[in-house]
A and B are shown apart, each in its own frame.
Chain A
Protein backbone atom coordinates (compact mmCIF):
# COMPACT_ATOMS: atom_id res chain seq x y z
CA UNK A 1 0.00 0.00 0.00
CA UNK A 2 1.45 3.38 -0.98
CA UNK A 3 2.00 5.79 1.88
CA UNK A 4 -0.85 8.21 2.47
CA UNK A 5 -0.01 11.86 1.89
CA UNK A 6 -2.35 12.97 4.65
CA UNK A 7 -3.59 10.70 7.38
CA UNK A 8 -5.64 11.79 10.37
CA UNK A 9 -7.13 9.78 13.19
CA UNK A 10 -9.69 11.44 15.49
CA UNK A 11 -8.02 14.80 14.95
CA UNK A 12 -9.59 17.32 17.31
CA UNK A 13 -9.26 21.02 18.07
CA UNK A 14 -10.97 22.70 20.97
CA UNK A 15 -11.01 26.41 21.75
CA UNK A 16 -12.04 26.57 25.39
CA UNK A 17 -15.33 24.69 25.59
CA UNK A 18 -15.96 24.98 21.85
CA UNK A 19 -14.95 21.99 19.75
CA UNK A 20 -14.16 23.39 16.31
CA UNK A 21 -12.96 20.10 14.86
CA UNK A 22 -14.47 17.03 16.45
CA UNK A 23 -12.45 13.87 15.88
CA UNK A 24 -12.05 13.75 12.11
CA UNK A 25 -10.40 10.71 10.51
CA UNK A 26 -9.53 10.52 6.84
CA UNK A 27 -6.71 9.80 4.41
CA UNK A 28 -5.60 11.46 1.22
CA UNK A 29 -3.90 9.30 -1.41
CA UNK A 30 -0.91 10.38 -3.45
CA UNK A 31 -1.80 12.19 -6.65
CA UNK A 32 -5.48 12.69 -5.95
CA UNK A 33 -7.51 15.88 -5.95
CA UNK A 34 -9.19 15.94 -2.59
CA UNK A 35 -12.08 18.36 -2.10
CA UNK A 36 -12.60 19.58 1.44
CA UNK A 37 -16.10 21.01 1.70
CA UNK A 38 -18.23 22.44 4.45
CA UNK A 39 -20.44 25.39 5.28
CA UNK A 40 -18.94 28.46 6.93
CA UNK A 41 -18.11 27.67 10.52
CA UNK A 42 -18.08 23.91 9.96
CA UNK A 43 -14.43 23.72 10.99
CA UNK A 44 -12.74 23.57 7.57
CA UNK A 45 -10.31 26.40 8.22
CA UNK A 46 -9.33 25.07 11.63
CA UNK A 47 -8.73 21.60 10.21
CA UNK A 48 -6.65 23.05 7.41
CA UNK A 49 -4.58 25.11 9.83
CA UNK A 50 -3.74 21.98 11.79
CA UNK A 51 -2.72 20.17 8.62
CA UNK A 52 -0.48 23.03 7.47
CA UNK A 53 1.34 23.26 10.80
CA UNK A 54 -0.24 26.56 11.86
CA UNK A 55 -2.27 25.16 14.73
CA UNK A 56 -1.37 22.50 17.26
CA UNK A 57 -4.28 20.01 17.60
CA UNK A 58 -5.92 19.36 20.96
CA UNK A 59 -6.15 15.63 20.36
CA UNK A 60 -5.97 12.81 17.85
CA UNK A 61 -3.22 11.98 15.38
CA UNK A 62 -2.22 13.37 12.02
CA UNK A 63 0.66 13.04 9.63
CA UNK A 64 1.16 15.25 6.60
CA UNK A 65 3.71 14.33 3.93
CA UNK A 66 5.04 11.79 6.40
CA UNK A 67 5.58 14.30 9.22
CA UNK A 68 3.82 14.44 12.55
CA UNK A 69 1.74 17.60 13.11
CA UNK A 70 2.72 17.82 16.77
CA UNK A 71 6.43 17.25 16.52
CA UNK A 72 7.36 18.36 13.03
CA UNK A 73 5.23 21.34 11.96
CA UNK A 74 8.30 23.06 10.48
CA UNK A 75 9.09 20.04 8.29
CA UNK A 76 5.48 20.01 7.15
CA UNK A 77 5.67 23.68 6.19
CA UNK A 78 8.76 23.02 4.13
CA UNK A 79 7.24 20.14 2.20
CA UNK A 80 3.85 21.56 1.30
CA UNK A 81 2.69 24.27 -1.05
CA UNK A 82 -0.01 26.67 -0.01
CA UNK A 83 -2.20 29.10 -1.84
CA UNK A 84 -4.68 31.28 -0.03
CA UNK A 85 -7.80 32.98 -1.22
CA UNK A 86 -7.96 34.95 -4.46
CA UNK A 87 -4.50 34.14 -5.79
CA UNK A 88 -2.90 36.48 -3.31
CA UNK A 89 0.58 37.64 -4.16
CA UNK A 90 2.10 41.07 -3.73
CA UNK A 91 0.39 43.44 -6.11
CA UNK A 92 3.06 46.10 -5.86
CA UNK A 93 5.85 43.71 -6.83
CA UNK A 94 6.53 42.37 -10.32
CA UNK A 95 6.09 38.68 -11.25
CA UNK A 96 9.86 38.26 -11.14
CA UNK A 97 10.09 39.83 -7.69
CA UNK A 98 7.22 37.74 -6.36
CA UNK A 99 8.88 34.55 -7.57
CA UNK A 100 12.24 35.57 -6.14
CA UNK A 101 10.71 36.54 -2.81
CA UNK A 102 8.70 33.39 -2.25
CA UNK A 103 11.52 31.22 -3.58
CA UNK A 104 13.78 33.03 -1.15
CA UNK A 105 11.66 32.41 1.92
CA UNK A 106 11.41 28.75 0.98
CA UNK A 107 15.18 28.66 1.08
CA UNK A 108 15.98 28.14 -2.61
CA UNK A 109 19.58 29.01 -3.41
CA UNK A 110 19.85 32.17 -5.45
CA UNK A 111 21.45 30.58 -8.53
CA UNK A 112 18.87 27.81 -8.67
CA UNK A 113 16.16 30.36 -8.03
CA UNK A 114 17.25 32.58 -10.89
CA UNK A 115 17.13 29.68 -13.34
CA UNK A 116 13.80 28.51 -12.01
CA UNK A 117 12.39 31.97 -12.20
CA UNK A 118 13.38 32.34 -15.87
CA UNK A 119 12.01 28.91 -16.72
CA UNK A 120 8.76 29.61 -14.94
CA UNK A 121 8.25 32.97 -16.65
CA UNK A 122 8.93 31.25 -19.95
CA UNK A 123 6.51 28.42 -19.27
CA UNK A 124 3.74 30.74 -18.08
CA UNK A 125 4.31 32.99 -21.05
CA UNK A 126 4.90 35.94 -18.71
CA UNK A 127 8.35 36.90 -20.00
CA UNK A 128 7.03 40.08 -21.57
CA UNK A 129 5.57 41.32 -18.31
CA UNK A 130 8.20 39.94 -15.95
CA UNK A 131 9.02 43.43 -14.74
CA UNK A 132 5.52 44.90 -14.74
CA UNK A 133 3.78 45.31 -11.44
CA UNK A 134 1.29 42.60 -10.71
CA UNK A 135 -1.52 45.07 -10.13
CA UNK A 136 -1.51 45.86 -13.86
CA UNK A 137 -1.91 42.23 -14.97
CA UNK A 138 -5.18 40.45 -15.78
CA UNK A 139 -6.55 38.09 -13.15
CA UNK A 140 -5.96 34.99 -15.27
CA UNK A 141 -2.23 35.72 -15.39
CA UNK A 142 -2.01 36.36 -11.68
CA UNK A 143 -3.82 33.09 -11.08
CA UNK A 144 -1.29 31.12 -13.11
CA UNK A 145 1.52 32.87 -11.32
CA UNK A 146 0.11 32.37 -7.82
CA UNK A 147 -0.40 28.68 -8.40
CA UNK A 148 3.06 28.23 -9.86
CA UNK A 149 4.58 30.11 -6.93
CA UNK A 150 2.85 27.70 -4.55
CA UNK A 151 4.55 24.86 -6.44
CA UNK A 152 7.90 26.65 -6.73
CA UNK A 153 9.75 24.49 -4.21
CA UNK A 154 8.29 21.34 -5.82
CA UNK A 155 6.11 20.11 -2.96
CA UNK A 156 4.33 16.77 -3.36
CA UNK A 157 1.25 18.19 -1.66
CA UNK A 158 -0.42 21.54 -2.19
CA UNK A 159 -3.18 23.13 -0.09
CA UNK A 160 -5.56 25.48 -1.87
CA UNK A 161 -7.75 27.49 0.49
CA UNK A 162 -10.81 28.65 -1.43
CA UNK A 163 -8.57 29.56 -4.33
CA UNK A 164 -11.41 30.77 -6.53
CA UNK A 165 -13.47 32.75 -4.03
CA UNK A 166 -15.22 35.69 -5.70
CA UNK A 167 -13.92 34.82 -9.16
CA UNK A 168 -15.97 34.52 -12.38
CA UNK A 169 -16.82 31.06 -13.80
CA UNK A 170 -14.49 31.30 -16.81
CA UNK A 171 -11.51 32.19 -14.67
CA UNK A 172 -12.42 29.42 -12.26
CA UNK A 173 -12.61 26.88 -15.05
CA UNK A 174 -9.19 27.91 -16.30
CA UNK A 175 -7.79 27.58 -12.81
CA UNK A 176 -9.05 24.03 -12.60
CA UNK A 177 -7.16 23.22 -15.77
CA UNK A 178 -4.03 24.22 -13.89
CA UNK A 179 -4.99 21.98 -10.99
CA UNK A 180 -5.49 19.00 -13.32
CA UNK A 181 -2.14 19.68 -14.93
CA UNK A 182 -0.40 19.66 -11.56
CA UNK A 183 -2.24 16.53 -10.42
CA UNK A 184 -1.28 14.67 -13.59
CA UNK A 185 2.30 15.55 -12.75
CA UNK A 186 1.92 13.66 -9.47
CA UNK A 187 1.13 16.52 -7.08
CA UNK A 188 -1.53 15.79 -4.48
CA UNK A 189 -4.08 18.61 -4.27
CA UNK A 190 -6.08 19.41 -1.14
CA UNK A 191 -8.66 22.06 -1.99
CA UNK A 192 -11.44 23.82 -0.11
CA UNK A 193 -14.24 25.47 -2.03
CA UNK A 194 -17.73 26.85 -1.77
CA UNK A 195 -18.56 26.11 -5.38
CA UNK A 196 -20.32 22.81 -5.82
CA UNK A 197 -19.54 22.60 -9.52
CA UNK A 198 -15.90 22.54 -8.48
CA UNK A 199 -16.63 19.69 -6.09
CA UNK A 200 -17.58 17.65 -9.15
CA UNK A 201 -14.04 18.06 -10.49
CA UNK A 202 -12.47 16.38 -7.44
CA UNK A 203 -11.52 12.71 -7.24
CA UNK A 204 -12.99 12.49 -3.76
CA UNK A 205 -14.70 15.01 -1.52
CA UNK A 206 -15.32 15.18 2.18
CA UNK A 207 -18.15 17.27 3.58
CA UNK A 208 -17.77 18.69 7.08
CA UNK A 209 -20.79 19.48 9.20
CA UNK A 210 -20.48 20.78 12.77
CA UNK A 211 -16.85 19.82 13.12
CA UNK A 212 -17.29 16.25 11.89
CA UNK A 213 -16.91 14.65 8.51
CA UNK A 214 -20.47 13.83 7.46
CA UNK A 215 -19.58 12.15 4.19
CA UNK A 216 -16.47 11.19 2.23
CA UNK A 217 -16.45 9.59 -1.19
CA UNK A 218 -16.20 10.23 -4.91
CA UNK A 219 -18.77 12.73 -6.24
CA UNK A 220 -20.49 9.99 -8.26
CA UNK A 221 -20.83 7.71 -5.24
CA UNK A 222 -22.12 10.56 -3.04
CA UNK A 223 -24.75 11.56 -5.59
CA UNK A 224 -25.88 7.98 -5.87
CA UNK A 225 -26.02 7.48 -2.13
CA UNK A 226 -28.04 10.64 -1.45
CA UNK A 227 -30.11 10.17 -4.57
CA UNK A 228 -29.12 13.62 -5.79
CA UNK A 229 -28.75 15.17 -9.23
CA UNK A 230 -25.81 17.38 -8.36
CA UNK A 231 -23.22 17.85 -5.61
CA UNK A 232 -25.16 20.94 -4.65
CA UNK A 233 -28.13 18.77 -3.62
CA UNK A 234 -25.84 16.41 -1.73
CA UNK A 235 -24.32 19.31 0.13
CA UNK A 236 -27.66 20.85 1.06
CA UNK A 237 -29.13 17.61 2.33
CA UNK A 238 -26.06 17.11 4.53
CA UNK A 239 -25.47 20.65 5.70
CA UNK A 240 -29.05 21.73 6.33
CA UNK A 241 -29.38 19.97 9.71
CA UNK A 242 -26.20 21.73 10.89
CA UNK A 243 -26.53 23.22 14.34
CA UNK A 244 -23.95 25.90 13.95
CA UNK A 245 -23.62 28.38 11.20
CA UNK A 246 -21.94 31.71 10.91
Chain B
Protein backbone atom coordinates (compact mmCIF):
# COMPACT_ATOMS: atom_id res chain seq x y z
CA UNK B 1 0.00 0.00 0.00
CA UNK B 2 2.78 2.38 1.03
CA UNK B 3 4.78 1.54 -2.07
CA UNK B 4 1.84 2.38 -4.32
CA UNK B 5 1.39 5.63 -2.52
CA UNK B 6 5.04 6.56 -2.88
CA UNK B 7 4.82 5.78 -6.59
CA UNK B 8 1.90 8.14 -6.81
CA UNK B 9 3.70 10.96 -5.04
CA UNK B 10 6.77 10.44 -7.21
CA UNK B 11 4.64 10.77 -10.33
CA UNK B 12 3.19 14.03 -9.01
CA UNK B 13 6.68 15.43 -8.51
CA UNK B 14 7.61 14.41 -12.05
CA UNK B 15 4.67 16.42 -13.39
CA UNK B 16 5.90 19.48 -11.55
CA UNK B 17 9.53 19.20 -12.56
CA UNK B 18 8.77 18.24 -16.19
CA UNK B 19 6.67 21.28 -16.76
CA UNK B 20 9.55 23.77 -16.89
CA UNK B 21 7.36 26.84 -16.81
CA UNK B 22 5.48 25.68 -13.76
CA UNK B 23 8.68 24.70 -12.00
CA UNK B 24 10.21 28.06 -12.82
CA UNK B 25 7.17 29.82 -11.42
CA UNK B 26 7.13 27.69 -8.30
CA UNK B 27 10.75 28.24 -7.40
CA UNK B 28 11.48 31.55 -9.07
CA UNK B 29 8.38 33.40 -8.06
CA UNK B 30 9.01 33.71 -4.33
CA UNK B 31 12.50 35.04 -4.98
CA UNK B 32 11.37 37.43 -7.69
CA UNK B 33 8.39 38.68 -5.73
CA UNK B 34 10.40 39.38 -2.64
CA UNK B 35 13.12 41.20 -4.53
CA UNK B 36 10.50 43.15 -6.44
CA UNK B 37 8.56 44.16 -3.39
CA UNK B 38 11.71 44.68 -1.41
CA UNK B 39 13.62 46.84 -3.86
CA UNK B 40 11.35 48.23 -6.52
CA UNK B 41 8.08 48.83 -4.77
CA UNK B 42 9.56 49.90 -1.49
CA UNK B 43 8.07 52.89 0.26
CA UNK B 44 11.14 54.15 2.00
CA UNK B 45 13.46 56.57 0.37
CA UNK B 46 17.10 55.77 0.06
CA UNK B 47 18.21 59.31 -0.62
CA UNK B 48 16.64 62.48 0.66
CA UNK B 49 17.84 65.63 -1.03
CA UNK B 50 17.83 68.23 1.65
CA UNK B 51 18.28 71.95 1.62
CA UNK B 52 19.44 73.81 4.73
CA UNK B 53 18.10 77.25 5.49
CA UNK B 54 19.99 78.40 8.56
CA UNK B 55 18.87 81.72 10.04
CA UNK B 56 21.02 81.21 13.10
CA UNK B 57 24.45 79.93 12.06
CA UNK B 58 25.61 78.75 15.44
CA UNK B 59 27.34 75.69 16.88
CA UNK B 60 24.11 73.79 17.48
CA UNK B 61 22.70 74.23 13.98
CA UNK B 62 26.07 73.24 12.59
CA UNK B 63 26.15 70.07 14.68
CA UNK B 64 22.57 69.21 13.76
CA UNK B 65 23.25 69.74 10.08
CA UNK B 66 26.35 67.55 10.25
CA UNK B 67 24.40 64.87 12.09
CA UNK B 68 21.66 64.94 9.49
CA UNK B 69 24.07 64.70 6.59
CA UNK B 70 26.19 62.00 8.15
CA UNK B 71 23.21 59.71 8.81
CA UNK B 72 23.55 58.38 5.27
CA UNK B 73 20.09 59.10 3.96
CA UNK B 74 20.36 62.87 3.62
CA UNK B 75 22.33 64.54 0.89
CA UNK B 76 22.77 68.30 0.96
CA UNK B 77 21.87 69.62 -2.45
CA UNK B 78 21.30 73.27 -1.60
CA UNK B 79 22.45 75.83 0.90
CA UNK B 80 19.80 78.49 1.01
CA UNK B 81 19.77 82.02 2.34
CA UNK B 82 16.10 82.93 2.23
CA UNK B 83 12.56 81.48 1.90
CA UNK B 84 12.22 82.45 -1.75
CA UNK B 85 15.23 80.32 -2.70
CA UNK B 86 13.64 77.45 -0.85
CA UNK B 87 10.52 77.72 -3.00
CA UNK B 88 12.64 77.65 -6.14
CA UNK B 89 14.58 74.61 -4.95
CA UNK B 90 11.31 72.68 -4.49
CA UNK B 91 9.93 73.75 -7.82
CA UNK B 92 13.04 72.60 -9.66
CA UNK B 93 12.99 69.28 -7.80
CA UNK B 94 16.44 69.87 -6.36
CA UNK B 95 15.26 69.06 -2.85
CA UNK B 96 12.73 66.79 -1.14
CA UNK B 97 12.99 68.68 2.07
CA UNK B 98 14.19 71.96 3.48
CA UNK B 99 15.21 72.22 7.09
CA UNK B 100 14.74 75.74 8.46
CA UNK B 101 16.52 76.80 11.66
CA UNK B 102 14.95 79.87 13.30
CA UNK B 103 17.18 82.83 14.30
CA UNK B 104 19.18 82.25 17.52
CA UNK B 105 18.29 78.55 17.34
CA UNK B 106 21.23 77.39 19.48
CA UNK B 107 20.77 80.04 22.16
CA UNK B 108 17.06 79.36 22.59
CA UNK B 109 17.59 75.63 22.75
CA UNK B 110 20.26 75.87 25.40
CA UNK B 111 18.65 78.70 27.39
CA UNK B 112 14.86 78.09 27.04
CA UNK B 113 14.95 74.37 26.38
CA UNK B 114 13.09 74.61 23.11
CA UNK B 115 13.72 75.96 19.67
CA UNK B 116 11.78 76.08 16.45
CA UNK B 117 12.74 73.81 13.61
CA UNK B 118 10.62 73.93 10.51
CA UNK B 119 10.55 70.96 8.17
CA UNK B 120 9.37 71.84 4.72
CA UNK B 121 8.55 68.79 2.65
CA UNK B 122 7.27 68.28 -0.86
CA UNK B 123 3.52 68.00 -0.41
CA UNK B 124 2.89 66.77 -3.94
CA UNK B 125 3.80 63.32 -2.70
CA UNK B 126 2.22 63.02 0.73
CA UNK B 127 3.59 59.54 1.23
CA UNK B 128 7.17 60.63 0.62
CA UNK B 129 6.80 63.80 2.62
CA UNK B 130 5.47 61.92 5.63
CA UNK B 131 8.41 59.57 5.49
CA UNK B 132 10.94 62.35 5.02
CA UNK B 133 9.58 64.26 8.00
CA UNK B 134 9.70 61.11 10.05
CA UNK B 135 13.35 60.49 9.20
CA UNK B 136 14.34 64.03 10.04
CA UNK B 137 12.50 64.05 13.33
CA UNK B 138 14.18 60.87 14.44
CA UNK B 139 17.63 62.30 13.66
CA UNK B 140 16.81 65.47 15.64
CA UNK B 141 15.57 63.44 18.57
CA UNK B 142 18.67 61.36 18.57
CA UNK B 143 20.75 64.54 18.64
CA UNK B 144 18.79 65.84 21.62
CA UNK B 145 19.21 62.55 23.42
CA UNK B 146 22.94 62.52 22.85
CA UNK B 147 23.20 66.04 24.23
CA UNK B 148 21.07 65.11 27.22
CA UNK B 149 18.43 67.64 26.33
CA UNK B 150 14.67 67.31 26.72
CA UNK B 151 12.62 66.76 23.59
CA UNK B 152 12.11 70.24 22.23
CA UNK B 153 9.13 71.89 20.61
CA UNK B 154 9.51 70.20 17.30
CA UNK B 155 6.44 68.83 15.68
CA UNK B 156 6.94 65.13 16.29
CA UNK B 157 5.89 62.60 13.72
CA UNK B 158 5.22 59.40 15.61
CA UNK B 159 7.91 56.84 15.23
CA UNK B 160 6.55 53.64 13.76
CA UNK B 161 6.84 50.88 16.30
CA UNK B 162 8.78 47.70 15.45
CA UNK B 163 10.02 49.39 12.32
CA UNK B 164 12.23 52.33 13.21
CA UNK B 165 13.62 52.63 9.69
CA UNK B 166 10.08 52.67 8.27
CA UNK B 167 11.13 49.71 6.19
CA UNK B 168 8.27 48.64 3.95
CA UNK B 169 9.84 45.25 3.41
CA UNK B 170 8.82 44.43 6.99
CA UNK B 171 5.24 44.90 5.99
CA UNK B 172 5.53 43.13 2.67
CA UNK B 173 7.15 39.91 3.81
CA UNK B 174 4.14 38.51 5.70
CA UNK B 175 1.73 39.45 2.93
CA UNK B 176 4.01 38.01 0.33
CA UNK B 177 4.20 34.73 2.21
CA UNK B 178 0.42 34.52 2.31
CA UNK B 179 0.19 35.30 -1.39
CA UNK B 180 2.81 32.80 -2.49
CA UNK B 181 1.42 30.02 -0.33
CA UNK B 182 -2.07 30.67 -1.66
CA UNK B 183 -0.76 30.57 -5.20
CA UNK B 184 1.33 27.43 -4.85
CA UNK B 185 -1.08 25.48 -2.71
CA UNK B 186 -4.53 26.42 -3.91
CA UNK B 187 -3.95 27.39 -7.53
CA UNK B 188 -1.47 24.65 -8.37
CA UNK B 189 -3.43 21.88 -6.66
CA UNK B 190 -6.70 22.81 -8.28
CA UNK B 191 -5.04 23.00 -11.69
CA UNK B 192 -3.24 19.70 -11.31
CA UNK B 193 -6.43 17.88 -10.35
CA UNK B 194 -8.57 19.42 -13.06
CA UNK B 195 -5.83 18.64 -15.58
CA UNK B 196 -6.27 14.95 -14.79
CA UNK B 197 -10.00 15.34 -15.23
CA UNK B 198 -9.53 16.99 -18.60
CA UNK B 199 -7.04 14.46 -19.91
CA UNK B 200 -9.14 11.52 -18.75
CA UNK B 201 -6.43 10.11 -16.53
CA UNK B 202 -8.55 10.78 -13.42
CA UNK B 203 -10.87 8.02 -14.58
CA UNK B 204 -7.91 5.66 -14.78
CA UNK B 205 -6.93 6.53 -11.23
CA UNK B 206 -10.46 6.08 -9.93
CA UNK B 207 -10.88 2.73 -11.65
CA UNK B 208 -7.59 1.54 -10.17
CA UNK B 209 -7.70 0.22 -6.66
CA UNK B 210 -6.35 3.46 -5.23
CA UNK B 211 -8.86 4.89 -2.80
CA UNK B 212 -10.16 8.43 -3.36
CA UNK B 213 -8.49 9.53 -0.14
CA UNK B 214 -5.15 8.17 -1.37
CA UNK B 215 -5.53 10.05 -4.63
CA UNK B 216 -6.24 13.28 -2.76
CA UNK B 217 -3.31 12.88 -0.39
CA UNK B 218 -1.00 11.87 -3.22
CA UNK B 219 -1.99 15.00 -5.09
CA UNK B 220 -1.55 17.25 -2.12
CA UNK B 221 1.72 16.06 -0.56
CA UNK B 222 4.08 17.38 -3.27
CA UNK B 223 2.53 20.84 -3.05
CA UNK B 224 2.73 20.78 0.70
CA UNK B 225 6.46 20.13 0.44
CA UNK B 226 6.94 22.77 -2.26
CA UNK B 227 5.02 25.40 -0.37
CA UNK B 228 7.07 24.70 2.71
CA UNK B 229 10.29 25.11 0.73
CA UNK B 230 8.90 28.46 -0.38
CA UNK B 231 8.27 29.51 3.22
CA UNK B 232 11.87 28.75 4.09
CA UNK B 233 13.10 30.60 0.99
CA UNK B 234 11.13 33.73 1.77
CA UNK B 235 12.06 33.81 5.44
CA UNK B 236 15.75 33.25 4.64
CA UNK B 237 15.77 35.82 1.87
CA UNK B 238 13.96 38.34 4.04
CA UNK B 239 16.54 37.85 6.75
CA UNK B 240 19.76 37.73 4.72
CA UNK B 241 18.92 40.25 2.03
CA UNK B 242 16.64 42.69 3.80
CA UNK B 243 17.53 42.10 7.41
CA UNK B 244 13.95 41.34 8.44
CA UNK B 245 14.30 39.59 11.78
CA UNK B 246 12.22 36.76 13.15
CA UNK B 247 11.80 38.01 16.70
CA UNK B 248 9.55 35.15 17.82
CA UNK B 249 9.98 31.40 17.61
CA UNK B 250 10.95 30.28 14.13
CA UNK B 251 9.44 26.88 14.89
CA UNK B 252 6.10 28.50 15.63
CA UNK B 253 6.35 30.48 12.40
CA UNK B 254 6.93 27.29 10.42
CA UNK B 255 4.13 25.41 12.15
CA UNK B 256 1.67 28.22 11.57
CA UNK B 257 2.78 28.38 7.94
CA UNK B 258 2.17 24.65 7.63
CA UNK B 259 -1.33 25.21 8.96
CA UNK B 260 -1.95 27.97 6.44
CA UNK B 261 -0.63 25.76 3.63
CA UNK B 262 -3.16 23.12 4.66
CA UNK B 263 -5.91 25.74 4.59
CA UNK B 264 -4.88 26.78 1.09
CA UNK B 265 -4.57 23.17 -0.09
CA UNK B 266 -8.04 22.34 1.13
CA UNK B 267 -9.35 25.39 -0.73
CA UNK B 268 -7.59 24.15 -3.86
CA UNK B 269 -9.21 20.75 -3.43
CA UNK B 270 -12.57 22.37 -2.99
CA UNK B 271 -12.15 24.31 -6.22
CA UNK B 272 -11.15 21.22 -8.14
CA UNK B 273 -14.18 19.28 -6.92
CA UNK B 274 -16.61 21.90 -8.18
CA UNK B 275 -14.96 22.48 -11.56
CA UNK B 276 -13.75 20.22 -14.29
CA UNK B 277 -11.61 22.46 -16.47
CA UNK B 278 -8.21 23.97 -15.82
CA UNK B 279 -9.31 27.37 -17.06
CA UNK B 280 -12.23 27.60 -14.67
CA UNK B 281 -10.09 26.36 -11.81
CA UNK B 282 -7.52 29.02 -12.59
CA UNK B 283 -10.10 31.78 -12.83
CA UNK B 284 -11.71 30.82 -9.53
CA UNK B 285 -8.32 30.57 -7.83
CA UNK B 286 -7.15 33.92 -9.11
CA UNK B 287 -10.34 35.91 -8.70
CA UNK B 288 -11.71 34.10 -5.69
CA UNK B 289 -8.55 33.48 -3.69
CA UNK B 290 -5.56 35.45 -4.86
CA UNK B 291 -7.20 38.82 -5.35
CA UNK B 292 -8.88 38.88 -1.94
CA UNK B 293 -5.61 37.68 -0.44
CA UNK B 294 -3.82 40.68 -1.90
CA UNK B 295 -6.54 43.30 -1.49
CA UNK B 296 -8.64 42.34 1.51
CA UNK B 297 -6.28 40.60 3.89
CA UNK B 298 -4.62 43.76 5.13
CA UNK B 299 -1.54 43.00 3.05
CA UNK B 300 -1.65 46.29 1.15
CA UNK B 301 -4.65 48.17 2.46
CA UNK B 302 -5.23 48.38 6.21
CA UNK B 303 -8.41 46.56 7.22
CA UNK B 304 -9.28 49.32 9.67
CA UNK B 305 -9.66 51.81 6.84
CA UNK B 306 -12.02 49.64 4.79
CA UNK B 307 -15.79 50.21 4.70
CA UNK B 308 -17.62 47.79 6.97
CA UNK B 309 -18.90 45.37 4.27
CA UNK B 310 -15.33 44.77 3.14
CA UNK B 311 -14.20 44.44 6.74
CA UNK B 312 -16.84 41.75 7.22
CA UNK B 313 -15.69 39.92 4.10
CA UNK B 314 -12.07 40.12 5.16
CA UNK B 315 -12.94 37.94 8.14
CA UNK B 316 -13.59 35.08 5.74
CA UNK B 317 -10.19 35.32 4.12
CA UNK B 318 -7.67 32.92 5.63
CA UNK B 319 -4.77 35.18 4.72
CA UNK B 320 -6.10 37.88 7.03
CA UNK B 321 -5.55 35.66 10.04
CA UNK B 322 -2.28 34.29 8.75
CA UNK B 323 -1.00 37.84 8.30
CA UNK B 324 -1.75 38.68 11.91
CA UNK B 325 0.13 35.54 12.94
CA UNK B 326 3.20 36.14 10.76
CA UNK B 327 3.46 39.80 11.73
CA UNK B 328 3.02 38.82 15.33
CA UNK B 329 5.68 36.14 15.32
CA UNK B 330 8.22 37.79 13.03
CA UNK B 331 8.01 41.43 13.99
CA UNK B 332 6.60 41.52 17.49
CA UNK B 333 7.99 38.27 18.84
CA UNK B 334 4.54 37.11 19.86
CA UNK B 335 3.89 33.52 20.96
CA UNK B 336 0.96 31.16 20.76
CA UNK B 337 -0.51 32.65 23.94
CA UNK B 338 -1.24 35.80 21.95
CA UNK B 339 -2.07 34.20 18.64
CA UNK B 340 -4.24 31.27 19.70
CA UNK B 341 -7.42 32.90 18.42
CA UNK B 342 -6.13 33.39 14.88
CA UNK B 343 -4.66 29.89 14.91
CA UNK B 344 -7.97 28.41 16.00
CA UNK B 345 -9.82 30.24 13.23
CA UNK B 346 -7.45 28.77 10.64
CA UNK B 347 -7.84 25.28 12.10
CA UNK B 348 -11.63 25.50 11.94
CA UNK B 349 -11.55 26.87 8.38
CA UNK B 350 -9.24 24.08 7.24
CA UNK B 351 -11.36 21.40 8.87
CA UNK B 352 -14.50 22.75 7.21
CA UNK B 353 -13.02 23.02 3.72
CA UNK B 354 -11.35 19.65 3.98
CA UNK B 355 -14.45 17.82 5.16
CA UNK B 356 -16.52 19.47 2.50
CA UNK B 357 -14.14 18.76 -0.36
CA UNK B 358 -13.43 15.14 0.58
CA UNK B 359 -17.15 14.53 0.85
CA UNK B 360 -17.72 16.25 -2.48
CA UNK B 361 -14.93 14.23 -4.10
CA UNK B 362 -16.42 10.90 -3.00
CA UNK B 363 -19.92 12.09 -3.81
CA UNK B 364 -19.11 11.89 -7.48
CA UNK B 365 -18.79 8.19 -6.96
CA UNK B 366 -22.28 7.73 -5.55
Residue pair A82, B209 in contact (C-beta under 8 Å): no
The reply on B84 being an interface residue by CB < 8 A is no
Least CB distance, B203 to chain A, in whole angstroms: 4
Interface residues on B, range: 20 to 34
Residue of A nearest to B10 (CB): A101
Identify A88's interface contact among B7, B10, B199, B366, CB under 8 A.
B199
Q: How many inter-chain contacts with C-beta < 8 Å in the A-B complex? A: 73
Complex contacts, B8 vs chain A, CB 8 Å: 101, 104-105
Task: Tell me, in angstroms, the Cα distance from A90 to B199 when the chains sit together.
Answer: 8
Identify A52's interface contact among B14, B205, B207, CB under 8 A.
B207
The reply on A121 being an interface residue by CB < 8 A is no
Identify A100's interface contact among B7, B19, B201, B210, CB under 8 A.
B7
Least CB distance, A161 to chain B, in whole angstroms: 7
Complex contacts, A100 vs chain B, CB 8 Å: 7
Residue of A nearest to B8 (CB): A105
The reply on B3 being an interface residue by CB < 8 A is yes
Identify A89's interface contact among B3, B7, B15, B201, CB under 8 A.
B201
Q: A93-111 vs B: 1/0 string, CB under 8 Å? A: 1000100111011110010
Task: Tell me, in angstroms, the Cα distance from A110 to B206 when the chains sit together.
Answer: 22
Residue pair A90, B4 in contact (C-beta under 8 Å): no
Interface residues on A, range: 20 to 34
Q: A77, A104, A106, A161: which has the most chain B beta carbons within 10 Å?
A: A104
Residue pair B15, A92 in contact (C-beta under 8 Å): yes
Residue of B nearest to A92 (CB): B18
Complex contacts, A56 vs chain B, CB 8 Å: 365-366
Residue pair A101, B7 in contact (C-beta under 8 Å): yes
Complex contacts, B203 vs chain A, CB 8 Å: 82, 84, 88, 161
- Which B11-42 residues have C-beta < 8 A from chain A? 11, 14-15, 18-19
Residue pair B11, A55 in contact (C-beta under 8 Å): no
Complex contacts, A78 vs chain B, CB 8 Å: 209
A74-B209, A93-B11 in contact; A54/B204 too (CB < 8 A)?
A: no
Task: Tell me, in angstroms, the Cα distance from A107 to B5 when the chains sit together.
Answer: 10
Task: Tell me, in angstroms, the Cα distance from A52 to B208 when the chains sit together.
Answer: 9
Least CB distance, B184 to chain A, in whole angstroms: 19
Residue pair B365, A90 in contact (C-beta under 8 Å): no
Residue pair B201, A90 in contact (C-beta under 8 Å): yes
A54-B365, A55-B365, A56-B366 in contact; A80/B15 too (CB < 8 A)?
A: no
The reply on B72 being an interface residue by CB < 8 A is no
Query: Can you pick out 19 interface pairs between chain A and chain B where the beta carbons lie within 8 Å of each other?
Result: A56-B365, A77-B207, A78-B209, A80-B207, A82-B207, A83-B204, A84-B201, A84-B204, A85-B200, A88-B199, A92-B18, A97-B11, A101-B8, A101-B10, A104-B3, A105-B8, A105-B209, A105-B210, A159-B207
Contact surface of B with A, Cβ cutoff 8 Å: 3-4, 7-8, 10-11, 14-15, 18-19, 199-201, 203-210, 365-366
**Leading 4 A-B pairs by shortest Cβ distance:** A104-B7, A88-B200, A82-B207, A84-B203
